[in-house]
């Protein structure tokens, strides 16, 4: 029987198999940031050990950093201490760090791909669940806890049971105004937040193949939101084209060798998945979430489900969620008030996202009632946005381009949505309080965010933009 893409990469990275236990898995690249690494370095120090392969570890502070006045020291004492601790740990262990104000600083999952560090066939981990983003290149990439960060730092290996395999095919053409964010929100709404638990997912099908590299990253990024360990897409010409020439991409002869190997990284025709699902791209429309987990999503033009349509055992949790959001079952989504718009994060903070947003709001104005935060995913994205004139376009429409970081995605810095306020966010989580205590988040694509930003209410982007 043939092998899946996942099997090919996984099997070639197993150092040892433990009977009725996990595999010892070798890790090619390990990204670290300030929040989930200090205790791991602490553990290594306490054992009297050291970082095993510092050249395979890349650090960037992102979760805690401010998105204004980055040239000043970080005001929040605890955040500053965490960022300084990362710097110190990296210096002591010879790890490359793209610190605050470094031209390569940014959200770890934006930085890896744009520097060409992320490549097909690799195993990649980071103490952050959205590490799945890197799977868009045909690598096995997944988030780990701090104990595993310590394992990876100390030995360049972690212990993992091999997950089950799932393939999700999206076939056909996508409609106007439908983005890769809508694809993944649609899939999660069908599978629920636990539907992928225990699986590693390969996304395939003609609609996926047609996506740009950045759009593919958005899909893989949110694999974790359906519970999956990670998501991946087989590398192809789009992938090679994106990587070619990037700073850490193989060059010259090494490039040819790499591409020849990468071309072998596809699922064999006779390979079997534990589960396989197929959706029609034509069924997908602009999506938005209405509840407090990413599985609670609907088409923007639809209503919130009625209570009767929810399984009995889940009705209590559904109602708790509606109360938190200040919505009622069955409500129409279009026209719901929006106070904040957040464009950014490792899901939708790349240049194509900013371009799409800018293009949509061109010639329009931000609604007075809306506070908007447009946050590039990295210094390089920021630079490009300025060079392409996007910053000016945004300002002309009443928006401001901030400095890069995770920002309001998890609100560890000052970018917090106030209690009770509604935010349309291009990030990935709408949990209670995720964007600040009491904040109410509705997840959507940059286009749907643009529609909300100019109207001040939830709006189907197809109704107001020329798409």
- Interface with ligand SF4, residue 266, by CB under 6 A: no
Q: Which of 139, 160, 348, 427 binds ligand SF4 (CB under 6 A)?
A: 427
Calpha distance 466→64 (Å, rounded)? 37
Closest CA to 354 of 398, 396, 384: 384
Which listed option, another protein, ligand SF4, none, makes contact with residue 193 (CB within 5 to 8 Å by class)? Answer: another protein
Q: Which of 57, 152, 360, 410 binds ligand SF4 (CB under 6 A)?
A: 410
Calpha distance 3→21 (Å, rounded)? 22
Using CB under 6 A, which residues numbered 173 to 202 contact ligand SF4?
Answer: none
Which listed option, ligand SF4, another protein, none, makes contact with residue 64 (CB within 5 to 8 Å by class)? Answer: another protein
Distance of CA 287 to the CA centre of its chain: 17
- Please list, in sequence order, all residues whose beta carbon lies within 8 angstroms of the beta carbon of residue 216, skipping any fewer than 6 positions away: 136, 180, 203, 208, 233, 238
CA dihedral 205, 255, 385, 137 (to 10 degrees): 30
Q: Which residue has the tokens 């197809």?
A: 462
Closest distance of CB 122 from ligand SF4, Å: 19
Joined tokens for residue 374: 């447009």
Calpha distance 313→334 (Å, rounded)? 28
Query: Angle CA(111)–CA(114)–CA(117) in degrees, nearest 5?
Result: 80
Which listed option, ligand SF4, another protein, none, makes contact with residue 120 (CB within 5 to 8 Å by class)? Answer: none
The stretch among 95-103, 112-120, 274-282, 402-410 that binds ligand SF4 (CB under 6 A) is 402-410
Which listed option, another protein, ligand SF4, none, makes contact with residue 358 (CB within 5 to 8 Å by class)? Answer: none
Which listed option, ligand SF4, another protein, none, makes contact with residue 346 (CB within 5 to 8 Å by class)? Answer: ligand SF4
Q: Is 409 annotated as a binding residue?
A: yes
Which of the 8 DSSP states describes residue 58?
A: E
Closest distance of CB 278 from another protein, Å: 24
Which listed option, another protein, ligand SF4, none, makes contact with residue 433 (CB within 5 to 8 Å by class)? Answer: another protein
CA dihedral 327, 407, 132, 244 (to 10 degrees): 130
- Interface with ligand SF4, residue 107, by CB under 6 A: yes
Closer CB to another protein, 4 or 380, in the complex: 4
Which listed option, ligand SF4, another protein, none, makes contact with residue 345 (CB within 5 to 8 Å by class)? Answer: ligand SF4
Which of the 8 DSSP states describes residue 249?
A: S
Long-range contact list for 410-413, CB < 8 A, 24+ apart?
A: 410/63, 410/434, 410/435, 411/435, 411/436, 411/439, 412/35, 412/63, 412/64, 412/79, 413/64, 413/65, 413/66, 413/67, 413/76, 413/79
Closest distance of CB 366 from another protein, Å: 27
- Interface with ligand SF4, residue 428, by CB under 6 A: yes
Using CB under 6 A, which residues numbered 322 to 351 contact ligand SF4?
Answer: 345-346
Joined tokens for residue 366: 């931000």
Which listed option, another protein, ligand SF4, none, makes contact with residue 146 (CB within 5 to 8 Å by class)? Answer: another protein
Closer CB to ligand SF4, 33 or 366, in the complex: 33
Closer CB to another protein, 78 or 328, in the complex: 78
Which listed option, another protein, ligand SF4, none, makes contact with residue 107 (CB within 5 to 8 Å by class)? Answer: ligand SF4
Calpha distance 64→112 (Å, rounded)? 18
Q: Which of 13, 30, 63, 366 binds ligand SF4 (CB under 6 A)?
A: 63
Closer CB to another protein, 157 or 453, in the complex: 157
How many other CB atoms are there within 10 angstroms of residue 296's CB atom?
22
Closest distance of CB 355 from another protein, Å: 29
- Please list, in sequence order, all residues whose beta carbon lies within 8 angstroms of the beta carbon of residue 266, skipping any fewer than 6 positions away: 5, 234
- Interface with ligand SF4, residue 79, by CB under 6 A: no
Q: Which of 8, 130, 299, 336 binds ligand SF4 (CB under 6 A)?
A: 130
Q: Which of 100, 356, 409, 451 binds ligand SF4 (CB under 6 A)?
A: 409
Closer CB to ligand SF4, 179 or 435, in the complex: 435
- Interface with ligand SF4, residue 216, by CB under 6 A: no
Q: Is 220 annotated as a binding residue?
A: no
Closest distance of CB 128 from ligand SF4, Å: 5
Residue by residue, DSSP assigns 112-128 as HHHTT---TT-EEEESS
- Interface with ligand SF4, residue 148, by CB under 6 A: no
Calpha distance 31→37 (Å, rounded)? 10
Q: Is 90 annotated as a binding residue?
A: no
- Please list, in sequence order, all residues whose beta carbon lies within 8 angstroms of the beta carbon of residue 327, skipping any fewer than 6 positions away: 290, 304, 336
Calpha distance 458→192 (Å, rounded)? 23
Binding-site residue set = 346, 406, 409
| Residue numbers at the binding site for ligand SF4 (CB under 6 A) | 62-63, 107, 109, 128, 130, 345-346, 406, 409-410, 427-428
Binding-site residue set for [4Fe-4S] cluster = 346, 406, 409
């Amino acid at each position: 029987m043939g092998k899946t893409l996942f099997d090919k990469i996984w099997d070639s990275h197993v150092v040892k198999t433990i009977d009725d236990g996990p595999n010892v898995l070798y890790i090619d690249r390990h990204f670290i940031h300030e929040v989930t690494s200090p205790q791991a370095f602490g553990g290594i120090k306490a054992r009297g050990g050291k970082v095993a392969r510092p050249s395979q570890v890349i650090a960037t502070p992102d979760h805690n950093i401010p998105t204004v006045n980055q040239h000043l020291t970080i005001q929040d004492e605890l955040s500053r201490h965490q960022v300084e601790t990362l710097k110190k740990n990296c210096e002591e262990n010879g790890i490359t760090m793209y610190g605050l104000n470094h031209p390569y600083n940014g959200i770890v999952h934006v930085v890896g791909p744009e520097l060409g560090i992320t490549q097909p066939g690799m195993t990649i981990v980071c103490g952050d669940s959205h590490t799945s983003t890197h799977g868009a290149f045909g690598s096995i990439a997944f988030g780990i806890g701090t104990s595993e960060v310590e394992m990876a730092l100390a030995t360049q290996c972690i212990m993992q049971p091999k997950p089950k395999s799932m393939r999700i095919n999206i076939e056909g053409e996508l409609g106007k105004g439908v983005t890769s964010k809508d694809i993944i929100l649609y899939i999660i709404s069908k599978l629920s937040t636990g539907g992928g638990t225990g699986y590693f997912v390969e996304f395939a099908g003609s609609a996926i193949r047609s996506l740009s590299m950045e759009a593919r990253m958005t899909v893989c990024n949110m694999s974790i939101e359906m519970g999956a360990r990670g998501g991946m897409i087989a590398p192809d010409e789009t992938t090679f084209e994106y990587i070619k020439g990037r700073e850490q991409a193989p060059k010259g002869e090494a490039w040819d060798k790499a591409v020849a190997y990468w071309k072998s990284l596809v699922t064999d025709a006779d390979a079997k998945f534990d589960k396989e699902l197929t959706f029609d791209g034509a069924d997908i429309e602009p999506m938005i979430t209405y509840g407090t987990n990413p599985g609670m999503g609907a088409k923007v033009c639809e209503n919130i489900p009625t209570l009767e349509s929810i399984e009995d055992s889940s009705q209590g949790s559904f109602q708790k969620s509606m109360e938190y959001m200040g919505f009622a079952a069955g409500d129409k989504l279009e026209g719901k008030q929006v106070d904040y718009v957040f464009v950014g994060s490792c899901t939708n903070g790349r240049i194509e996202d900013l371009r799409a947003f800018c293009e949509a709001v061109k010639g329009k104005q931000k609604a007075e009632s809306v506070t908007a935060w447009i946050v590039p995913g990295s210094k390089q994205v920021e630079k490009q946005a300025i060079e392409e004139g996007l910053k000016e376009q945004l300002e002309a429409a009443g928006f401001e381009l901030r400095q890069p970081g995770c920002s309001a995605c998890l609100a560890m810095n000052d970018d917090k949505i106030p209690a009770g306020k509604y935010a349309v966010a291009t990030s990935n989580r709408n949990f209670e309080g995720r964007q600040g205590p009491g904040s109410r988040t509705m997840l959507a694509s940059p286009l749907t965010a643009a529609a909300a930003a100019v109207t001040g209410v939830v709006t189907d982007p197809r109704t107001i933009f020329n798409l």
